[in-house]
Structure 1
């Protein structure tokens, strides 16, 4: 029981640390070419994200108001 409680506490503290430094962690992870390529390919595999990305990138000049 005590080891399970300690494991939960350590997981909670690690989650808090990652949340507090989330932008630094993202910069470190996305600085790696393989991880960046994996992240982009997985995001582009989501139809809703892909549609919105293409709409914002390839929109015409009249769509910007």
Structure 2
């Protein structure tokens, strides 16, 4: 019985987060420390960093695809 209630509550929580996902993301990223952690973690990935640098520092005549 406890397992069924746990699964039901996890499902309802997941549904609520899915319905309010943009509000949840804005709330999480509104915190400066959490936002800094996510950005530094994301930029530590080499393929992301290389693509970002390529996009930011490309010349205007080159189209980014």
Is the pair's TM-score, using the shorter chain for normalization, greater than 0.5? yes
C-alpha distance after superposition, 1:10-50 (max 9, x if no partner): 11111111111111111111110000000101101112221
The structure with the greater share of residues assigned to helix is 1
TM-score (norm 2): 0.86
Q: TM-score, normalised by structure 1?
A: 0.86
Alignment size in residue pairs: 64
What CA distance in whole angstroms lies between the structure 1 residues aligned with 2:4 and 2:23?
Answer: 29
Q: Which residue of 1 aligns with 2:21?
A: 22
> Superposition RMSD on alpha carbons, in Å?
1.3
Query: 4+ residue stretches of structure 1 with deviation over 4 A?
Result: none
| Gap regions ≥5 residues in structure 1 | none
